[in-house]
Structure 1
Amino acid sequence: MDKIAIVILNWNGADMLRKYLPSVLANSGDGVSVYVADNKSSDDSLTLLRNEFSECRIIELEKNWGFAEGYNKALAGIDAEYYLLLNSDIEVTENWLRPLVTFMDSHPDVAACQPKLLSICDRGAFEYAGASGGFIDKYGYPFCRGRIFDTVERDEGQYDGNIEIFWATGAALMVRADDYNTVGGLDGRFFAHNEEIDLCWRLRMLGKGIYCIPESKVYHVGGGTLPKSNPMKTYLNFRNNLTMLYKCLPEAEIRRVMRIRMLLDYLAAFEMLLLKRSPKDFMAVLRARREFGRWKKDFKAEREHIMEACMVKKIPGRFDFSILWQYYVKGYKRFSDLPMADG
């Protein structure tokens, strides 16, 4: 049994592996196994791994399962105390694992944690995908310490304290294997996007802690699979976010939140069409809402199970305000500006 299994999910990422895998192998220490799970790549990823990184353990998946189910398939065959899900475009730093492991070992009630994510392109700035820990507003919009929507802050040490968060980034996620398996892992139906927030929400509903440990830091390229403007990413983000809300929102909130989200989603769609002149993104939002309406029934039994198992009424890190209102109306662009006392 491994103490820590670092698992990198790869799909046609030979260039990323060649560039960033050496930092993982050089800085992860003894007693750590590094796995690369390949989602049926068509490039030379497997040849590269066998010829240049023979110390890695290779898991060959029979098709491209996507991010969520790809990890579920890979982790099912790994026996470890901690899984560490790591993107292939991450450069780690010396001793980056030590603060994460030390914290998890001394806090058995904590299910998962993340390091501080900084940008490889601008090493003095946070990285979009997780920054210094993730939170969520009452309508399901995620944001981070160090990043709200497209406003990314400089890292000036302002968010260097350990903090309990709502969600930890899937780009560099350390999770206790027992907890991961207890809640059934990532939701493979999501394919990609919002799957780590959904996982963390389910863990938090069982009373488990999620933390950011900024003493550990890594550098992330970001957008490795789909650029921000890609309509497929728009579709997956909207569809999966709505599905996550349906699965996890308390009964007392779900009707009101879903009505408001319908209005906000259509406003967002028309903004994409009229202001951003992106008809493909406009259609992606409409398609996402149609698909959510079509497959919502498939999640009914799971929602009932999640509600029955829930042990926490109010989860820290899910704030009782609209981040859209705070950002666009009040003009609060930095995490430190937000009225956290209202949360």
Structure 2
Amino acid sequence: MEKVAIVILNWNGQQMLEKYLPSVLQYSRDEATVYVADNASTDDSIELLRTHYPQVELVLLDKNWGFAEGYNKALSQIDAEYYLLLNSDIEVTHHWLTPLIEYMDAHQDTAACQPKLLSIFDKDRFEYAGASGGFLDKYGYPFCRGRIFETVEADNGQYDDVADILWATGAALMIRSKDFWEVKGFDGRFFAHNEEIDMCWRLRIKGRRIVCIPDSYVYHVGGGTLPKGNPMKTYLNFRNNLTMLYKCLPDEQLNHVMRWRWFLDYLAAWQTLLMNRNFGDFKAIYRARKAFKAWKKDFKADRREIQKWRRVEKIPEQKDFSLLWQYYAKGRKLFSALPQ
């Protein structure tokens, strides 16, 4: 068994691999084996790797399985103590792996961790996808140390402490292989978006810790596959977020939260249409609500099993407040300003 396997999931990402894979090889080769798992790309990704990067191990999948199931299928073929899932649009830094490995080795109660995620375009600012670790509010809205909705903070060292979080970003996620498979990996039905939050939440329900380790930091492009404002991204985010809530919320919260989400989701749809003139996202939210209603029954067994796993009744990283109320009504746009 290897110690660390860095696994980059690729689909038609030749340009990203050309630009950012060299930093991964330069700063990781002494501590990990680098894999590229390819979701049946139709560009020249595989030719690039075979010609210029023969030291990279290839896992070739038979079709585009998406992020969630693509990783499930690829990781099932890799024997390592730690998987490090890494987006192809990540630039890593010198000594980035060591703090992650050392922390995981020293803290057996920790299932997964992430480095600090900074923007490749403004290296003194957090990056939207994970910043310095993720949380959820009471209605399932994700936010991070360093990012709430559209407000992304400058990194002034204010979140440089190791912190327990609810979810670690899938852009750069280190996880024990044992923990990954004990919760059955990602939910492949999600295809993409919210799958890492869903998996990390299941780990927290089992009493396992998720942490951010800011001594390690990387730079992320972000939005490379489905850019912000894409209706498909909106659809997947809403559908998968509702499904995650249905699976993971405790019985005493489920009905209350789902009633509020019905109201808040349709409010978001109409706000998108009337204020932003965005008919694509308006339709995407309605489609997502309809899709969730149609496939909800398929997750009843998942919900029963997950609730049986419960070792933590109250997860501190799932906050009791409404993020919408804090952000829009009270004007609290920084993580440090939220109720602690």
TM-score for the superposition, normalised by structure 1 = 0.99
Q: What does 1:11-22 align with in structure 2 at a 5 Å threshold? A: 11-22=11-22
Corresponding residue of 1:79 = 79
Task: Kindly report which structure 2 residues correspond to 1:167-316, keeping only aligned pairs within 5 A, or say none.
Answer: 167-316=167-316
For the residue of structure 1 that corresponds to 2:235, the secondary structure is helix
SS at match of 1:275: helix
SS in 1 for 2:276: coil
Please give the per-residue CA displacement for 1:34-71, whole angstroms capped at 9, x wherever unaligned.
00000010100000000011100011100000000000
Mapped to 1, the partners of 2:22 and 2:308 lie a distance apart of: 45
Tell me the CA shift for residue 29 of structure 1.
3.9
Q: Secondary structure at the match of 1:83?
A: strand
Residue 270 of structure 1, CA deviation = 0.2
Letter in 2 for 1:161: D
Distance 2:315 2:252 in 1: 15
Once the two structures are overlaid, the 10-residue window that deviates more, 24-33 or 73-82, is 24-33
- The CA RMSD over aligned residues, in Å, is 0.5
Instruction: Give the partner amino acid of 1:278.
Output: N
1:15 aligns to what SS in structure 2?
helix
TM-score by length of structure 2 reads 0.99
Equivalence map 1:106-121=2 (5 Å): 106-121=106-121
Does the 8 Å CA contact 1:2/1:31 hold for their aligned counterparts? no
1:237 maps to a residue whose letter is N
Alignment check: 8 A CA contact 2:235 2:285 kept: yes
* Mapped partners of 2:313, 2:328: distance in 1: 29
* Alignment check: 8 A CA contact 2:31 2:97 kept: no
1 CA distance for matches of 2:32 and 2:265? 44
TM-aligned CA deviation for residue 309 of structure 1: 1.4
CA distance in 1 between counterparts of 2:93 and 2:29 reads 12
Alignment partner of 1:125: what SS? Answer: coil
In the alignment, structure 1 residue 158 sits paired with structure 2 residue 138: no
| CA displacement 1:297-327 (0-9 Å, x = unmatched) | 0000110011111111011210000000000
Deviation at 1:172, TM superposition (A): 0.1
2:36 equivalent to 1:36? yes
Aligned-residue sequence identity (percent) comes to: 68
Tell me the equivalent position of 2:136: 136
C-alpha separation in 1, matches of 2:168 and 2:51: 34
Q: How many pairs are equivalent?
A: 340
- Inter-partner Cα distance in structure 2 for 1:322 and 1:174: 29
SS in 2 for 1:88: coil
Task: In structure 2, give the amino acid aligned to 1:215.
Answer: D
Amino acid at match of 1:164: D
What secondary structure is seen at the aligned counterpart in 2 of 1:59?
strand
Q: What letter is aligned with 2:161?
A: G
SS at match of 2:157: coil
Partner of 2:56: 56
Structure 1 counterpart of 2:197, which letter?
I
- 1:8·1:86 contact (CA, 8 Å) conserved in 2? yes
- Matched residue of 2:158: which SS? coil
Contact 1:7–1:35 (8 Å) recurs in 2: yes
Return 5+ residue gaps in structure 2 as ranges: none
One-letter amino acid of the structure 1 residue matched with residue 94 of structure 2: E
Corresponding residue SS for 2:117? strand
Task: State the match for 2:66 in structure 1.
Answer: 66
Superposition deviation, residue 31 in structure 1? 4.1
